[in-house]
């Protein structure tokens, strides 16, 4: 099983910008995916280590036994002295979800993109979909169904604001007005210390070290703390994306999380990260339910004199995709053809959880 750590990122008053291919600068996702998190961590590591040390670490990730695996980041939300962790809903329904349920609850069920950990565990590692769940999803409207399922708090954990910006054309000196989206996580003044603030929501992720290695674990969090001062996502030159690691959450997994990870009766696996593999067998896709997303973006390197170059794009399986075999994943080489200074990689190394699902249902395969 190795060592699992739950990492909570506290942004406080600091906003963040997580742009994705196709949504434009005016929009921002509320979270960061595993490949971007890996790239951010590796870039921070490269600033602290020599080129040879970085190359040696990348070689380890290119092997069949990577030093660690990262999930994507997801929302956590604290309220009423309780911390709720949200997980992506698997793309197959839980045990007990019948054909009649699919006909009756198809729309509100598919609208549940994220589930609180307690519901995720009950649906996919416990009793499954029960009569009480049917009653909760049988509201008069989709909004009522979501509220009854206890999921309305997800959107309460953050707000996305549009901030006006202007750019100046270097040739014509003409100005162009545009807007950039920033996500702000819920916070409040600390009652015990009014000059300080308390993060009530933010992002969390899981990291799995296949073999116990205190030295590597210490290095991982050292780099992560440095990354927090640098920031993650876009608009970092404006101070966006800076965070603090909640050290209290990293020492020992909460009991419920440990139960979810240790679940031994699962027949399938649901992704908590993006997943890409060099060669995918037909057996891997047998009876799978998945969604794909194109991952691209830009790189900046001293070798390009500061000019941005676009990485090669790659299609990856997204979080919530369900497979009957354990997905492993590899690094994808996305180096542009004209870029020769060093290789550029995007992480498709996956992390998943075991679960049980209802097999006889309509597939949800598609593109995000």
Which of the two residues, 69 and 135, has the higher pLDDT score?
Answer: 69
Nearest alpha carbon to residue 357 among 264, 268, 260, 261: 268
Per-residue pLDDT, averaged over 128-140, amounts to 80
User: Which residues are 175's β-sheet partners?
Assistant: 168
57 domain residue, yes or no: yes
pLDDT of residue 306: 53
Give the model confidence (pLDDT) of 32-49 as tens digits.
999 999 999 999 999 999
- Under the banding of pLDDT at 50, 70 and 90, the label for residue 323 is very high
Say which residues have a Cβ less than 8 Å from residue 278's Cβ, sequence separation at least 6: 330
For helices 117-125 and 255-262, the axis angle rounded to 10 degrees is 30
186 domain residue, yes or no: yes
Q: Which structural domain, as residue segments, surrounds residue 288?
A: 3-360
Give the model confidence (pLDDT) of 69-79 as tens digits.
999 999 999 87
- Under the banding of pLDDT at 50, 70 and 90, the label for residue 26 is low
Whether pLDDT at 146 is above 70: no
Token readout for 125 is 């590692």
Token readout for 344 is 């550029």
pLDDT of residue 103: 87
CA atoms within 13 Å, Cβ hemisphere of 201: 23
346 domain residue, yes or no: yes
By residue count, the chain amounts to: 368
The region that residue 78 occupies, defined by phi over 0 for left and psi between -120 and 50 for alpha, beta otherwise, is beta
pLDDT of residue 141: 44
pLDDT of residue 1: 75
Please tell me the total count of domains within the chain.
Answer: 1
Say which residues have a Cβ less than 8 Å from residue 247's Cβ, sequence separation at least 6: none
Per-residue pLDDT, averaged over 233-242, amounts to 90
Per-residue pLDDT, averaged over 82-107, amounts to 91
Which of the two residues, 38 and 19, has the higher pLDDT score?
Answer: 38
20 domain residue, yes or no: yes
From 13-27, 90-104, 349-363, the region with the lowest mean pLDDT: 13-27
pLDDT of residue 81: 77
pLDDT of residue 168: 73
Whether pLDDT at 305 is above 60: no
**Average pLDDT of the chain?**
86
105 domain residue, yes or no: yes
Whether pLDDT at 234 is above 80: yes
Contact 239, 37 (CB under 8 A): no
366 domain residue, yes or no: no
Give the model confidence (pLDDT) of 248-303 as tens digits.
777 789 999 999 999 999 999 999 999 999 989 899 999 999 999 999 876 655 44
pLDDT of residue 144: 46
pLDDT of residue 193: 77
Which of the two residues, 306 and 44, has the higher pLDDT score?
Answer: 44
Give the model confidence (pLDDT) of 191-221 as tens digits.
777 778 889 999 999 999 999 999 999 999 9
Total Cβ atoms within 10 A of residue 60: 11
Rounded CA separation 148/135 (Å): 9
The region that residue 338 occupies, defined by phi over 0 for left and psi between -120 and 50 for alpha, beta otherwise, is alpha
Per-residue pLDDT, averaged over 88-104, amounts to 92
110 domain residue, yes or no: yes
Which of the two residues, 16 and 302, has the higher pLDDT score?
Answer: 16
Whether pLDDT at 149 is above 60: no
Nearest alpha carbon to residue 61 among 44, 42, 80, 46: 42
118 domain residue, yes or no: yes
Give the model confidence (pLDDT) of 333-361 as tens digits.
988 877 767 788 999 999 999 999 987 66
């Amino acid at each position: 099983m190795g060592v699992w750590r739950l990492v909570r990122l506290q942004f406080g008053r600091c906003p963040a910008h997580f742009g994705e291919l196709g949504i434009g600068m005016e929009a921002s996702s509320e979270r960061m995916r595993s490949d971007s998190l890996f790239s951010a961590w590796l870039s921070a590591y490269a600033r602290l280590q020599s080129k040879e040390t970085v190359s040696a670490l990348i070689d380890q990730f290119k092997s069949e036994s990577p030093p660690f695996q990262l999930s994507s980041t997801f929302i956590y939300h604290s309220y009423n002295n309780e911390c709720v962790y949200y997980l992506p809903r698997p793309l197959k329904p839980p045990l007990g979800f019948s054909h009649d349920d699919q006909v009756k609850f198809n729309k509100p069920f598919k609208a549940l993109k994220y589930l609180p950990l307690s519901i995720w565990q009950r649906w996919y590692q416990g009793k499954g979909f029960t009569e009480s769940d049917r009653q909760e999803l049988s509201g008069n409207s989709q909004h009522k169904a979501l509220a009854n399922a206890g999921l309305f708090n997800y959107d309460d954990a953050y707000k996305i604001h549009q901030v006006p910006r202007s750019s100046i054309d270097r040739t014509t000196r003409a100005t162009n007005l545009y807007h950039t989206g920033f996500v702000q996580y819920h916070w409040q003044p600390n009652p015990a210390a009014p000059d300080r603030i308390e993060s009530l929501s933010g992002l969390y992720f899981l990291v799995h070290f296949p073999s116990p290695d205190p030295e590597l674990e210490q290095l991982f969090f050292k780099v992560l703390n440095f990354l927090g001062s640098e920031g993650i996502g876009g608009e970092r030159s404006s101070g966006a994306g800076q965070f603090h690691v909640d050290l209290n959450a990293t020492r020992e997994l909460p009991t419920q999380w440990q139960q979810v990870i240790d679940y031994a009766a699962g027949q399938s696996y649901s992704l908590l990260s993006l997943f890409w593999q060099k060669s995918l067998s037909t057996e891997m896709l047998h009876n799978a339910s998945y969604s794909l997303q194109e991952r691209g973006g830009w790189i900046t390197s001293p070798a390009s004199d500061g000019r941005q170059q676009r990485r090669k794009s790659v299609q990856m399986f997204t979080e919530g995709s369900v497979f009957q075999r354990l997905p492993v994943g590899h690094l994808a080489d996305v180096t542009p053809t004209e870029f020769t200074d060093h290789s550029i990689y995007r992480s498709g190394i996956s992390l998943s959880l075991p679960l049980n699902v209802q097999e006889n249902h309509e597939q949800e395969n598609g593109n995000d």
